Amino acid sequence: MDWPLFILIVSFLLLLVINVPIAFAIGISSLLTIFAIGGLPEFLTVAFKIATGIDSFALLAIPFFILAGQLMGHGGIARRLIDFANVFVGRFPGGLAYVNIMTCMLFGAISGSAVAAVSSVGGFMVPLMNKEGYHRDFNASVSITAATTGLLIPPSNVMIVYSLATGGAVSVAAIFMAGILPGVLTGLGLMVVAGVISIRNKYGKGVSFGFKESLIKFFVAVPALLLIVIVLGGILSGIFTATEASAIAVVYALFLSVIVYREVKWRELPNIFLQAGRTTAVVFMLIGTSMAMSYVLAHENIPQTISAALLGLSNNPVVILLIINLMLLFVGTFMDMTPAVLIFTPIFLPIVTQLGVHPIHFGIIMIMNLCIGICTPPVGSCLFVGCGIAKTTITDVIRHILPFFLAMIIVLFIITYIPWLSMAVPAALNLF
């Protein structure tokens, strides 16, 4: 290992250990490495890479989708989606667990944010499940893992970041559509686990609704569900780009929250905008510093070195994908999704494409790996939010969440070795 790479790895890990925010850890370690390389204007190089890293029209979609998610979270949309899901799956034993998972899938498909899903849906469902006799830590586990389905089912902010990381090799529309079947499969896998545990522990008796009540709940939720149709339909038909679709999502979410459902008051909007701005600032700081670290890695030829090392071990795609999956599962435990995608896509994508794996398929594999990561300690954002909502501890939740992890890992390997699941929808829509 050469000296600059050693400094990069050690400084980054040391900064994480002492709880430096990950965006600053990435930026500082990149700066120290550039000092070690020498011959470059250190501060200017890092500042330039941060500025150019976020200078992308496609990335404008992220703050708009974040704002749309904030409006949905405050606008009562989650509760109406819960009622909608309850009509379909609430009648079965353990029905509230199914409702939680299905609602997270729908809410994530609208907001594109796992943290928004676990806070909005979990914030309502966990207390309700507690009241109905479900175990608190089981309830937290369901909410935490189910929220990740929204990162696979479009629209998804991390998919936009992956499209950027590929340098345009994968369009936003293509990666959006590729996530539909894997996202649904993940949700079904979580439902199987939740169902087995619920039956074993006799959770929930199931609630049935009359035809009239079911119809009312369905029509109340239709305006929220239409957002999925508007966003994805507009992108696929070519009426607008993903960035323009995100802006339309904000306008529509604002209309629903303020005018239709009347859950958000005009005086509350400045605070909602401020929250969205803070979240956006964090995300874009992560993107900018990750671009700086990617530059350092490229300068030191790290992608080529890792590629040669992996291909030296084997040229069998099955073996290489297994190794990459294990590496990404490890990376996901200590790194946020956005920097992980930006840093590791340029490293692994050339390797897998050389072995015949399509960039779209690999994007879904990478995102699925990192979805598991945000549910695991020590830096899993969904894990911390979910435990906070359920008023429990990570230590208590871990034992209950392990069966859900197992389901997600099984789905990961199914997605990895059955490319059709990722490629079928984009191929049918001619998005290659």
Compute, in degrees rounded to 10, the torsion defined by CA atoms 255, 230, 408, 334. Answer: -60
User: Cα(92)–Cα(80) distance, rounded to whole angstroms?
Assistant: 19
Distance CA 29, CA 294 (A): 12
Q: Which of these, 72, 33, 69, lies nearest to 49 by C-alpha position?
A: 33
- Tell me the pLDDT of the chain averaged across its residues: 84
Nearest to 74 by CA among 271, 232, 228: 271
Cβ 227 vs Cβ 253: under 8 Å: yes
Whether 153 is covered by a domain: the verdict is yes
pLDDT for 109:
67
Report pLDDT for 217: 78
For residue 198, what are its two tokens?
């619920």
Q: Count of domains in the chain?
A: 1
The pLDDT of 300-313, averaged and rounded, is: 82
- What is the residue range of 142's domain? 41-428
DSSP 3-state percent helix, strand, coil across the chain (nearest 5): 80, 0, 20
Residue 152 structure tokens: 């696979």
Mean pLDDT of 54-83: 81
Contact of 340 with 135, CB cutoff 8 Å: no
Task: Indicate whether 111 pLDDT > 70.
Answer: no
Of the listed ranges 26-30, 66-70, 365-369, the least confidently predicted one is 66-70
In percent, the amount of the chain with pLDDT more than 90 equals 18
- The whole model's pTM is what? 0.87
Residue 88 has pLDDT above 80, yes or no: no
Q: What is the pLDDT of residue 110?
A: 67
Q: Please report the pLDDT score of residue 1 as a whole number.
A: 53
Give the residue carrying structure tokens 């009239």: 212
Answer whether residue 3 is part of any domain.
no
For residues 364 and 64, give the distance between their C-alpha atoms in angstroms, rounded to a whole number.
Answer: 23
Tell me, yes or no, whether 243 lies in a domain. Answer: yes
| Closest by CA position to 122, among listed 69, 82, 67, 182 | 82
Average pLDDT on 405-415 reads: 94
The lowest-confidence range among 39-48, 108-117, 397-406, 423-432 is 108-117
Q: Is residue 17 part of a domain?
A: no
Cα 344 to the chain's mean position, in Å? 16
**pLDDT over 70, % of the chain:** 95
Q: What is the pLDDT of residue 85?
A: 80
> What is the mean pLDDT of the segment spanning 121-146?
85
Locate 166 and state its tokens.
């590929």
Structural domain includes residue 25: no
What mean pLDDT comes out for the span 323-340? 87
Tally of CB atoms within 10 A around 221: 20
Please say whether the beta carbons of 90 and 304 come within 8 A: no
Statement: residue 358 has pLDDT above 60: yes
How many Å apart are CA 231 and CA 250, to the nearest integer? 11
